[in-house]
Structure 1
């Protein structure tokens, strides 16, 4: 079924309401590997309800939505998550009730056999007050849906990393069970748990969620440049490059220029870049 450009550009989802507690907040941080050392006083506030802190990347799981893609008519098996963008308007609370609404904001035809690019945004608001908390932006590469006659082009231009040596790096080794923990925050795609399904998709074993690697990079920036204060992050944008296997080590390399932290995340064991063209904006 080919993409109908006029139809897809009118697609919306929601509003839908999500309630979550401190349990979901702590589970998300554990899914990123935080708290592995229970005596780490800097990470303990992310996994313990006494003074609980929230990573801004948690917004990607509390507002999890497959409805837009389900309505779009694309070949879901051929879909790849290309980019994730996050803008913080007000800090996400560690528990509460939020209202979310999504919409398609762009669709580009790369040509027959070359796929399509779909852009979508999700707004997260406090249910009680209506205050806008976070805006999420997502770029989807629909590899099997090019040639539908839509406009040429693509998504936002990637952030260019500095050419000098990186200023700081932080490395975390993921657990062999990392994907099995992380999927409990919402994305239960069997690609991340079922070895047989992973092999059918062309992988030797289940892969780590791209958004888990994304959250891991956010964790690194919060450690390196925010003194473990997640409320300092205003924007967090990145492009996905290579899948990660649970158990591999993720090294996030960072450059700071004023309030902008550029970053990329490398898989140490294979010397490949998993996340590229990263841009975080932090408060002074």
Structure 2
């Protein structure tokens, strides 16, 4: 049924003040697959909090995260129909590995795809240092609300999508996910039961709980840092992608990467395209 637009627009998405610890920064990196090779010093720089720790850039997605607020009936949205469609991040400054941050999330657009069709919800989050107010990162999410169209709104999408080159990729990177990875990842603050409860997943039309889209984002971010930046997080300036199909925990992500920062990802076990229209921007040039 159509979303209740006025309830959605009026919903008070809470600002979140978060005290970040080194252990949480390391846990986030572990939850998206860093440390899979515990002898790789470059990966250990993100997960061994006893050393000079680095923050994964994609951690901006969970800092100051307001939780699954669309699961609240007062949002005007059926939570069973919520699917993550697109995600962008822009890094304005290096992310801290500890300290206090504030995340403020707001709705920046709602698109009506028509009666019986879906709706697109655009939300932006700004992550700032709680001490000096410095902007650290901004994120832009597109959420597809299945069956939520028909409320009489504008049907024009707000943002275009990057087209990857029409040739073979320059690099292929296979990164496995773990069967229990969604259960780890949800401890970062994204507690949508779709990723943990088999009955909720079946009601939503999936055979079993699926991996969080933002976890998939983090795994792909790992592949990009490894391939185009030699694990130097400070070089990543931005990253955008479209989620084309869900990933099941335990599947492999085969990341296809071009030297210009274009990318997409497949699950070879099903020959399924799961991430498309990807583009990452880096400071400096890749080797």
Q: TM-score scaled to structure 1, two decimals?
A: 0.93
Structure 1 residues 152-161 or 119-128, which shifts more?
152-161
Q: Gapped runs of 5+ residues in structure 2?
A: none
**Cα drift, residue 8 of structure 1:** 4.4
Maintained 8 Å contact 1:109/1:115: yes
| Mapped partners of 1:67, 1:274: distance in 2 | 22
The residue correspondences of 1:139-178 to structure 2 (distance < 5 A) are 139-178=142-181
| Mapped partners of 1:2, 1:171: distance in 2 | 40
Name the structure 2 match of 1:18.
18
Q: Gapped runs of 5+ residues in structure 1?
A: none
| Mapped partners of 1:26, 1:140: distance in 2 | 28
Q: TM-score scaled to structure 2, two decimals?
A: 0.92
Equivalent of 1:98, from 98, 101, 107?
101
Name the structure 2 match of 1:53.
54
Quickly say closer, same or farther: Cα 1:256–1:9, change in 2 above 3 A: farther
SS of corresponding position for 1:147: coil
Quickly say closer, same or farther: Cα 1:77–1:7, change in 2 above 3 A: closer
Name the structure 1 match of 2:271.
271
Maintained 8 Å contact 1:11/1:103: no
Name the structure 1 match of 2:80.
77
**Cα drift, residue 54 of structure 1:** 1.1
SS of corresponding position for 2:174: strand
| Mapped partners of 2:20, 2:110: distance in 1 | 32
Name the structure 2 match of 1:28.
28
**Cα drift, residue 15 of structure 1:** 2.9
Maintained 8 Å contact 1:12/1:101: no
Maintained 8 Å contact 1:11/1:104: no
| Mapped partners of 2:78, 2:201: distance in 1 | 17
Q: Deviations over 1:248-277 (max 9, x none)?
A: 1111111123xxx01101101111111111
RMSD of aligned alpha carbons: 1.7
SS of corresponding position for 2:184: helix
